[in-house]
Amino acid sequence: MNERLRDLRDRLTRLGAGIGVEALRAQVRAIEEEMARPGFWDDRALAQAKARELERARERLSDYEGLAAALDEAEVLHELAEEAGDEGTRGEVEALLGKLEEDLERLRIQLLLSGPYDGGDCFLALNAGAGGKDAQDWTEMLLRMYSRFCERAGWDVRLVDETPGEEAGLKSATLEVKGKNAYGLLKGETGIHRLVRISPFDAAARRHTSFASVTVTPAVPEEDVEIDEDDLRIETFRSGGPGGQHMQKNETAVRITHLPTGIVVGCQNERSQLQNKLTALRMLRAKLRALMEQEHAKKIEELRGELAEIEWGHQIRSYILQPYQLVKDHRTGVEVGNVQAVLDGELGPFIWAWLEQGQSPQKA
């Protein structure tokens, strides 16, 4: 156990150097002093940016210092257990060390979440691709999978827009995800997702392949992306529903087109037209920020933040239900045989492997 403790101490020291603990402490002190000066809030946009910077620095320090305190406690407990020959305390130390190893590894990988929006919220958009009804059904399955993952992560997830399929499933859907590191953890899911199974829509019970795209964009503060109202075409319409007495009588749904880029966003699941408009503007701001970061965008499909070819050859991950059971990520090589667990939201192995590999999301 002594060797295990020494190894953890060495790893924590290296982690502290990687995080830049002393520099973070100096950064926190400097920003706190700056915020205490008269007139700091006169420039609200700059002040809010500084406040977010301070929050990120404090969070990183808190995570590191929490691990350091837990390791100190483990070392003290270990000494007490050795002096007293207490097997019960030794077992407690073993359990504490196991958790510390997991937390250290997780924090090490989170060092990769260094982008300006990685620590914040995001929008996750799904679009059916090649495969007809199967692709639309697959899109609905992905919506359930990501909703489950987000709920297990402790994030607030809301369906803000959806377009039902003609006979089954969904043509498209958009989730708003709010929670710590939501964008940083989900951004690697951007790409084409391929499903192979016996189609429930084929009377001959043949195997079909279908595709759906996932696009993750960060939620950005209003001051980070300015939108000229003259560049917008705003349309209202009735929200979709089951019809009959439940059919929406008022035009509360909103669709916004950004004329210079052709980006279209919509929201229909809020309670009022104003709320739908505000959510749609947040989605537009997110897509415009993504547009600004696409250095090699040359086609309008890329400018719109969408994937032009949602079909064979572009997939980042395959979900195979027939003739065998396997989910394989084509970027990292990670494979999971329990397909149902993955479809129930167990995406951790894929997300952490992608982060550790440090690759960018695949683009069409």
- Using the predicted structure, report yes or no on whether residue 174 has a pLDDT greater than 70: yes
Out of 2-6, 8-12, 70-74, 110-114, which region has the weakest mean confidence (pLDDT)?
110-114
Q: Give the sheet arrangement for strand 326-329, strand by strand.
A: 156-164, 170-178, 122-128, 207-218, 191-198, 315-320, 326-329, 335-336
Q: Is 236 exposed, middle or buried (0-12, 13-18, 19+ CB in 10 A)?
A: middle
pLDDT band at 257 (very low <50, low <70, confident <90, very high): very high
> CA separation (Å) from 98 to 59, 70, 94, 257?
23, 12, 6, 51
- Pull the structure tokens for residue 308: 């032009």
Q: What angle is formed at CA 22 by the lines to CA 20 and CA 28, rounded to 5 degrees?
A: 100
Q: Is 98 exposed, middle or buried (0-12, 13-18, 19+ CB in 10 A)?
A: exposed
State what percent of residues in the chain have pLDDT above 90: 48
CATH 3.30.70.1660 assigned to domain 118-364? The reply is yes
The whole model's pTM is what? 0.69
pLDDT, average across residues 72-94: 85
Quick one: which of 184, 183, 169 has its CA closest to 129?
Answer: 169
- Can you count the helices (H) and strands (E) in the chain? 10, 11
- Using the predicted structure, report yes or no on whether residue 246 has a pLDDT greater than 50: no
Res 240: pLDDT: 61
Res 134: pLDDT: 95
Quick one: which of 265, 215, 210 has its CA closest to 235?
Answer: 265
Region label for 120, one of left (φ > 0), alpha (ψ between -120 and 50) or beta (otherwise): beta
CATH 1.10.3470.10 assigned to domain 2-110? The reply is no
pLDDT band at 319 (very low <50, low <70, confident <90, very high): very high
The domain limits of the chain are: 2-110, 118-364
Res 309: pLDDT: 53
Res 32: pLDDT: 94
Q: Which residue has the higher pLDDT, 85 or 55?
A: 55
> Rg of the chain over CA atoms, in angstroms?
24
* Spatial contact of 301 and 309, defined as CB atoms under 8 Å apart: no
- As a whole number of angstroms, the distance between CA 218 and CA 289 comes to 8
Region label for 82, one of left (φ > 0), alpha (ψ between -120 and 50) or beta (otherwise): alpha
pLDDT, average across residues 170-179: 95
Out of 40-44, 103-107, 334-338, 356-360, which region has the weakest mean confidence (pLDDT)?
356-360
